[in-house]
Amino acid sequence: MSESLNTARSVATTTPRGLRFVLLSMLVATSATVAMSAWAGPGHGGRHGGPDTMMFGGGRGVDRMLDGLNATDAQRTQIKQIMGAARNELKPTREQQRALREKSMQVFTAPTVDAAAAESLRQQMQQLRDTSSRRMLQAMLDASRVLTPEQRTKLGERMKQRSEAMQERMQRMERKRPQQ
């Protein structure tokens, strides 16, 4: 067990304030991990991703992405095959991520929170995200080789517009939220 984890456990067992700090820190870390997994993971039904979630989301997402690019039928077929293969390869990873999220909720809802177990789950989640990210990058690189430089430029412009629109929606939602 790491020295910092031992120190945190020592503080947590000796002071009520230390216990609250450790529990709050672990809750924040797990919440962020779960939120990022849901946001970033392909096939999780996330609606706010970039080109990766749009392209990995299925045939319709790929078609929408390619519609404004004047993509040929051959390009569409190749890119759908690339994204479909990646999606299929990542399916077990998504199931593992889901299982780890469930375990993390069990750890945090237990009468006594096991910091070592929480850290282990965090590391496992991070490893799965890294695996997914590597595979998604490879699929994106493969797809980029199918598109022309002009198509990639146009796609980049569309993704920038989507990102700006998402940021605006998030800011509007934040303004509507009641202040606490």
Please provide the DSSP assignment of 2-71 as one string.
Answer: -HHHHHHHHHHHH-HHHHHHHHHHHHHHHHHHHHHHHHHSTTS--SS--HHHHHHT-HHHHHHHHHTTT-
Q: 179 by DSSP, 3-state: which?
A: coil
What phi, psi does 71 have (nearest 5°)?
Answer: -75, 140
Question: Residue 127 has what pLDDT?
Answer: 95
pTM higher than 0.85: no
Tally of CA atoms within 13 A in the half-sphere of 142 that contains its CB: 19
Question: Residue 135 has what pLDDT?
Answer: 95
Give me the residues of the chain with pLDDT under 70, please.
Answer: 1-59, 180
DSSP letter (8 states) at residue 144: H
- 31-74 residue pLDDT tens: 444 333 333 444 433 333 444 444 455 557 788 888 889 899 99
Question: Residue 63 has what pLDDT?
Answer: 82
Considering all CA atoms of the chain, what is the largest pairwise distance in Å, rounded to the nearest integer? 67
Question: Residue 66 has what pLDDT?
Answer: 87
The full set of domain ranges for the chain reads 30-168
